[in-house]
Amino acid sequence: MVRVMENKISDWDDETLDPDDWDELTSLGHEMLDDMMGFLKNIRTHPFNWPTESAINEIMVPLTDEGDGEKEAYELFKRSILPYTGLVVKPQFWGFVVGTGSPFGMLTEMLLAGVNYFEESILISKYTYKQALNWVKELLGFPEVTGGVFVGSGSEANFTGLAVARNAKAKEDMKTKGIYEQPEKMVLYCSDQTHECIDRSVELLGLGNEALRWLPTDENYVLKTSALTKAIFEDRSKGFYPFCIIGNAGTVNVGAFDDFKALRKIADKENMWLHVDGAFGSWIKLSETHRHLVDGLEQVDSLAVDFHKWMNSPFTLACTLVKDRLAHYSTFVYGHEAEYLKSVVEFSQDQLENHGFLALPLSKPAYGEKAYMLLRACGKDKYRRLIQKNINQVNYLAELIENEPNIELTAPVISNITCFRYVSDGLSEEELDKLNHLILGDMWNINCCMISDTTIKGKYTLRVCNINHRTRKYDFDWLVGEIKKSGEKQLKQLK
Ligand SMILES: Cc1ncc(COP(=O)(O)O)c(C=O)c1O
């Protein structure tokens, strides 16, 4: 062994990442807090900017040996990062399915980064985690016995649920034998409105994306159960093994919901697993007027649900609920080789609640505490009101659109999404697509990704997905005005 020789080379024993001057860093911290609170407080008027060349030049530099110091790094953040972040926190942001975070969420992140938890099955985290999960189950109407795990994203939550489904339903032990030694090819089913992360999960689980059967939806974008039973029957007769149905609670394009009671019946009859991607839509359970859309959701085998979407937690936080806790644990538990983790397992007592072992990553941020703090601070009614308000607002937007001769709805307004396009007599479908794409560009120049676009059943469309707690109805009056202005301008240039 080579020893560090005293006096020849320093052993850096005093070196840490703590500040030399705690008062100085504390005062920088206060400044950062004041600035970020001011930023959020005034976000309505905050202008969006595309990154300038000088900002990019300032960012793309070689890493120095000495570093710039915390104060300088923060000055750089204010000067060349913050002004060019996409302003998803603005009241006028309805692109993709992106939550807006909250000031208290930001503060919670600071607290949890301070204690830097990595493991949530021992000490007080065990209780905050368990209680947060209990609250999620209660809010979504799931039975108390349901197990679950907090993870980093909706994609990961779906992956987790589908991994359990695959292992639980495999005819040969999946953990030891793998996918190759299954007697039949395992296949699974979803609607043509399903999010692409399901496809990715299926691929990563080694099933091959050909195993995922995309089935047609009806005029309300609900999976056609007749098509599902037919596909299962045909697959069985060809020697495939149908093992899982994937439903949607809130499709990404139009916010549609499958018929969970009907899917449950089919899954029971066919002895299949029922997984639902409810990344944002599960929370509609909290609305007064639309909660019927998730009737039967509590009967599924596993559910993926996000916090960083409609619950507006800071990125990232999601959850997988799984009914069969043993199947969940067995899928992810480490093998005999993880000697160094055995004491943690002993301390956590209930093996099935050992949250460190219920998803792919071992080290994770303090997801349980984060969910706990946000739910504890806001309670149920705040979220109930916010979710209802977003639904009311997209219906208001739809009314505005219906009163506009040059804008039309392109899909039914089912939950919190309004799809529409600008139209003008005499334009072909191709020209309309081009026109609306140009309008999207104009909107993105106001605030990047402020609204998004998609193609639904072959039709290009603009799309507002409203999970924004800061939006007011008058923001949609403004949006319709901007769409009209842009449509008229682009139309002139097209002609
Ligand atoms: C319905 C649905 N499922 C899954 C996802 C993926 O979630 P995440 O972005 O948290 O990975 C999304 C993202 O928008 C979604 O809308």
Give the model's pLDDT for residue 118.
Answer: 77
Site to probe by mutation for ligand 1, drawn from 88, 96, 97, 151 as the one with most ligand atoms within 8 Å of Cβ, is: 97
Backbone angles phi, psi at 11, to 5 degrees: -95, 5
Q: What is the DSSP string of 91-159?
A: SS--STT-----HHHHHHHHHHHHHT----SSHHHHHHHHHHHHHHHHHHT--TT-EEEEES-HHHHHH
Reported as a single tens digit per residue, the pLDDT across 409-440 is: 999 999 999 999 999 999 999 999 999 999 99
Residue to substitute in 150, 155, 159, 312 for testing ligand 1 pocket (most ligand atoms within 8 angstroms of CB):
155
Q: Buried b / exposed e across 305-338, counting CB within 10 Å, b at 16+?
A: bbbbbbbbbbbbbbbbbbbbbebbbbbbbeeeee
Report the atom number in ligand 1 closest to the C-alpha of 97. 14
**Ligand 1 pocket, 317 CB below 6 A?**
no
pLDDT score, position 338 = 61
| Residue 65: pLDDT over 80 | yes
Which CATH class, in words, describes the domain spanning 379-494? alpha beta
Instruction: List strands edge to edge, sheet with 417-422.
Output: 407-409, 417-422, 459-465, 452-456
Ligand 1 pocket test, candidate residues 309, 310, 414, most atoms within 8 A of CB: 309
Phi, psi of 466 (to 5 degrees): -105, 100
Check residue 356 and give its pLDDT.
80
Query: What is the model's pLDDT at position 143?
Result: 97
Identify which of 237, 221, 164 has the alpha carbon closest to the alpha carbon of residue 229: 237
pLDDT value at position 350? 73
d(CA 330, CA 348): 16
Domain boundaries 107-378, CATH class? alpha beta
| DSSP string computed for 333-385 | ---TT-GGGHHHHHHT--GGG-GGGSSS-SS---HHHHHHHHHHHHHHHHHHH
pLDDT of residue 384: 98
Is 4's pLDDT higher than 70?
no
Instruction: Give the pLDDT mean for 106-127.
Output: 89
Residue 460, helix vs strand vs coil: strand
How high is the pLDDT of residue 348? Answer: 62
| CB-side neighbour CA atoms (13 Å) of 462 | 32
3-class DSSP assignment, residue 149: strand
pLDDT value of residue 335: 65
Taking only Cα atoms into account, the Rg of the chain, rounded to an integer number of angstroms, comes to: 25
CB proximity list for 135: less than 8 A, separation 6 or greater: 371, 372, 375
pLDDT of 271-327, one tens digit each? 999 999 999 999 999 999 999 999 999 999 999 999 999 999 999 999 999 999 989
For residue 418, the number of C-alpha atoms closer than 13 Å in the C-beta half-sphere is: 25
pLDDT of 2 > 90? The answer is: no
**Chain-centre distance for alpha carbon 230:** 32
**pLDDT value at residue 3:** 55
Return the structure tokens found at 357.
């072992």
Distance 30 CA to ligand 1 centre (A): 35
Strand segments (E) across 84-210 = 147-151, 186-191
Q: Is the CB of 454 under 6 A from ligand 1?
A: no
pLDDT in tens, 131-146: 999 999 999 999 999 9
Q: Is the peptide bond before 316 cis (omega within 30 degrees of 0)?
A: yes
pLDDT in tens, 99-111: 999 999 999 999 9
Token pair for 295: 């009737």
% of the chain exceeding 70 in pLDDT: 95
Residue 6 has pLDDT above 60, yes or no: no
d(CA 269, CA 158): 23
- Cα Dmax for the chain: 86
155 CA distance to ligand 1 centroid (A)?
6
Give per-residue pLDDT as tens, 75-99. 999 999 999 997 899 999 999 999 9
Q: In the structure encoding, which two tokens stand for residue 294, read together?
A: 């998730």
Return the closest-CA partner of residue 57 out of 76, 32, 85, 82. Answer: 76
Q: What would the mean pLDDT of 30-35 be, rounded to a whole number?
A: 98
- Atom from ligand 1 closest to the CA of residue 318: 10
CB 173 within 8 A of CB 187: no
Quick one: pLDDT band at residue 174, thresholds 50, 70, 90?
A: very high
Q: Read off the tokens for 74.
A: 């923060």
How many other CB atoms sit within 10 Å of the CB of residue 348?
20
Domain residue extents for the chain: 53-81, 107-378, 379-494
Answer whether residue 445 shows pLDDT above 80. Answer: yes
Please state the rounded mean pLDDT for residues 187-200: 98
SS3 464: strand
> Terminal CA-to-CA distance of the chain, rounded, Å?
79
Which one of 175-179, 240-244, 358-362 scores highest in mean pLDDT?
240-244
Nearest CA to ligand 1 atom 9: 154
Quick one: which of 466, 348, 363 has its CA closest to 415? 466
The CA 247 to ligand 1 mean position distance, Å, reads: 14
pTM: 0.96
Average pLDDT, the chain: 94
Per-residue pLDDT, averaged over 47-66, amounts to 97
Bridge-based pairing state of the strands 147-151 and 318-322? antiparallel
Task: Kindly give the number of the ligand 1 atom that is closest to the alpha carbon of 96.
Answer: 14
Cα–Cα distance measured from residue 374 to residue 274, given in angstroms and rounded to the nearest whole number: 29
Do residues 460 and 433 make contact, with C-beta atoms less than 8 angstroms apart?
yes
- Per-residue confidence (pLDDT) for residue 369, from 0 to 100: 95
φ and ψ of 300, to 5 deg: -75, 165
278 closest CA partner among 317, 248, 244, 313:
248
Question: What is the tens place of the pLDDT at every residue in 329-371?
Answer: 989 987 655 666 666 666 666 777 788 889 999 889 999 999 9
How many C-beta neighbours within 10 Å does residue 285 have?
23
